[in-house]
């Protein structure tokens, strides 16, 4: 039915992304997402890299910006995808790469999601500036940089990148809607993928791609903090389980609305 069709389009979007040239190519190929035009993505990558060197103070700074950008896929693929400067370049630190990272963030090429030290309003007041994850602004570019095939993102497939691409999609949808995004990880046994502010309250959001099973984390969070509502994004249809709202991934944009 409609749910299955929407899931199919969501799967296509994960792989194709939303860049106009990529979408046009997808439409021109009969909506066949499994055969991407590599020339298009190569052109997009080169365009991004050109911007990184064109609008900076020196060629060396452009190289650093490119290094940060190219590190994002492998950072997200880690079991703990907290951004590490040493994953950009061995032995690097904040002093080396914070300015290039800020440039990418200001340009809209990446989104930063900071950890909060407490799930309390306002979330920005509890933001930890030194702990954050970095996501790309387009899932199609991320999938391409990861070297993924369309089959790698299908529901029954399990690999290190599927969860990363799914989380990137959710962050992209909500960040583009202007939502402030945070995550909460008070211990190794609990991590809430996202925390949102809604009507003066903190709402925990779990993202299920099929790779990560974090139901225990969300359950533990609900038991400890008793939020009025919680959200699980997955490939399941809409539902409500005692204040846990089930929302299909293709409807993530609904979380970006004020009401």
Span 17-72, pLDDT tens digits: 999 999 999 998 888 888 777 888 888 888 888 888 888 888 899 999 999 999 99
The per-residue pLDDT for range 180-189, each reduced to its tens digit, is 999 999 988 8
Identify the three-state secondary structure at position 164.
helix
pLDDT score for 137: 95
Which residue has better confidence, 210 or 66?
66
Give yes or no for residue 214 having a pLDDT over 70: no
Give yes or no for residue 259 having a pLDDT over 70: no
The DSSP symbol for 160 reads T
Average pLDDT over residues 216-227: 93
Which residue has better confidence, 77 or 160?
77
Give yes or no for residue 132 having a pLDDT over 90: yes
pLDDT score for 211: 43
Average pLDDT over residues 108-128: 97
Which residue has better confidence, 189 or 103?
103
Arithmetic mean of pLDDT over the chain: 91
pLDDT score for 29: 82
Q: How confident is the model at residue 210 (pLDDT cuts 50, 70, 90)?
A: low
Identify the three-state secondary structure at position 99.
helix
pLDDT score for 191: 93
Percent with pLDDT over 70 in the chain: 97
Give yes or no for residue 128 having a pLDDT over 70: yes
Which residue has better confidence, 84 or 45?
84
pTM for the full model?
A: 0.93
Identify the three-state secondary structure at position 215.
helix
Closest-CA residue to 67 (of 101, 108, 102): 101
Query: Among the listed ranges 6-15, 33-42, 174-183, 209-218, which one has the minimum average pLDDT value?
Result: 209-218
Closest-CA residue to 255 (of 238, 241, 34): 238
Percent with pLDDT over 90 in the chain: 71
Domain range summary for the chain, segments of one domain joined by +: 2-256
């Amino acid at each position: 039915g409609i749910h299955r069709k929407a899931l199919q389009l969501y799967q296509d979007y994960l792989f194709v992304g939303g860049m106009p040239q990529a979408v046009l190519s997808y439409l021109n190929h009969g909506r066949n997402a499994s055969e991407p035009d590599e020339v298009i993505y190569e052109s997009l990558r080169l365009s991004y890299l050109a911007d990184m060197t064109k609008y900076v103070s020196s060629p060396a700074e452009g190289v650093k910006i490119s290094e940060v950008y190219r590190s994002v896929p492998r950072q997200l693929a880690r079991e703990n995808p907290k951004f590490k400067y040493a994953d950009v370049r061995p032995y690097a630190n904040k002093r080396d790469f914070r300015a290039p990272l800020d440039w990418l963030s200001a340009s809209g090429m990446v989104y930063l999601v900071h950890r909060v030290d407490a799930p309390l309003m306002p979330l920005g007041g509890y933001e930890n500036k030194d702990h954050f994850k970095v996501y790309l602004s387009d899932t199609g570019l991320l999938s391409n940089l990861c070297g993924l095939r369309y089959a790698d993102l299908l529901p029954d497939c399990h690999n290190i990148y599927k969860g990363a691409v799914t989380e990137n999609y959710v962050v992209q949808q909500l960040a583009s809607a202007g939502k402030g995004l945070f995550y909460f990880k008070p211990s190794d046994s609990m991590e809430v993928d996202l925390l949102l502010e809604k009507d003066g309250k903190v709402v925990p959001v779990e993202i299920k791609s099929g790779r990560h099973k974090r139901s225990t984390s969300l359950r533990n969070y609900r038991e400890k903090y008793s939020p009025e509502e919680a959200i699980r994004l997955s490939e399941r249809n809409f539902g409500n389980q005692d204040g846990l709202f089930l929302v299909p991934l293709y409807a993530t944009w609904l979380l970006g609305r004020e009401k």
